[in-house]
Structure 1
Amino acid sequence: MENSETTRLSRLTAIIIQLQTKRLVTALELANKFEVSKRTIYRDIRALEHSGVPVITEDGKGYTLMEGYRIPPIMFTEKQANALILAEQLVLKNKDASFIKDYSEAIDKIKSILRYTVQDKVNLLADRTRYDEALHQERNSSNLSDLQYALTNFRLVCINYINKEGNSTERIIEPFALLSTENWYLIAWCRLRKEFRFFRLDRIQRIEIKPENFEPHKMTLQEYFDKFH
């Protein structure tokens, strides 16, 4: 999908949300909000009507939705929910107490509409993720989302990993937790070394999530630190 189409789809969705949350919305109000022309808003409203959304036009006043019409609750994919949990970790490092409170309450509302299976997984991920602020450090990783998924679904992962000496090995690992200090790190049980190991995400050259599951490790992240450090 081209970028302009993606932008329009996002705008159409946002217009529906505006119509759901306000009694009446004018074309000018929508045009100003989305930084487009009123002509574009007119076309968007027609597109919504053609797709079956019951938009009512009140002449000289604006637009409203037919009474009783509601779109279903937003359904996040697992990876989208995981991204929100990671964002929550970043916000918790903010120094503004009111901002933290507002964001935490928003995340709680989002969690409340997730399917129960996804709720369990995002709560597990929140317990298994630590983010420490490191100034002037650039964290490089393109595998975080896949590893979050493998961690919460207890899936084996095959990686090609380059150690600090520059040697490459293939490992089968059982993801346990994600940490961020000066870099992103994965704590995982390494089947090659038969022990828990730290893996720097920017040293993972290739990743493959296997169809096989592993037996979940029955301990919290804090229990891991108490036992092994």
Structure 2
Amino acid sequence: MNKTDRMLAIVLELQRTSVLRAEDLAAIFETSVRTIYRDIQALSEAGVPVVGEPGVGYSLMEGYFLPPVTFTAEEAVTLIIGTDFIEQRFDQDYGQKARSSRGKIEAILPEPVRMEATRVRKTMRLLTTNDERYRGPEKAYVEKIRQAILHVRKVKFGYAKRLPEEDGNRHSVRVAAPYGLVFTNGSWVLVARCELRQDIRHFRLSRMNELTMLDEAFQLPSDFNLQDYAPPDDRNVIVRVQVHADIADKVKESPNYYRESIEELEDGCLHMTFRVRLPEELLQWVLGWGAGVVVVEPESLRRKVREEILHMLEDY
């Protein structure tokens, strides 16, 4: 980023965030604090009313507002593709707002930039995955949970866990205080305080049913910030597998939440390490690759795989 672009970006950051220290700006623009000092000085000399308070930071004088800036073709394409993503992945309400925003962005672009943005956009496309046809309820639940978060109301829903509890039951009814929604690995996840577990838990919307918003209100903890929230990692079990060379490329391209590392061997095989809560969490993944994936450890998972194969033989 050249000096002119950086100075403009500094003004935009100060306009967006009321007070920023030189160290904050240096971190944002990946430059030195000394460079930020020079940029602030140049802005002041150019007539931009930047106010500096020792020990606090820089801010813009109250009432100063930078007029709307123009977009480059690349910036316009970035925003438009962002609206495409929101239309595909968010609920109907946000989908409509995404279409409206896209129209407004395209309307304000100068003709040359709009033509260039259209040309660039034609070379890119977001494809909906095959399983999107089955995610209608998930999108509807996004909207319901958003409303519950905005109105600070608890939610109630049926939930199916991936693995059964100790009593063998996978299904339960939960009441929870919704703290936020996270989109991860192609799926929406609710971060909420579960009344059953008396702690913060994560719930995949795709495993919910009969979601309703309750009249009962809740209070969000003052120290909770979804942007800073980091869930405790309780994946303490190590699983190692050997992948045959003929499917190595396919396995590498297949994302897996539990994957820790991949080691490519001289014969083209892969040695993969996973970290899980329970070995059974990888059972279906291992079986899905057939004879191309062999569990090295732990022995308990090897035994589970053998048992499942025997059950399959009985059916065939």
Alignment TM-score, normalising by the size of structure 2: 0.30
Structure with greater Cα Rg: 2
Alignment TM-score, normalising by the size of structure 1: 0.39
Higher relative contact order (CA 8 A, sep 6+): 1
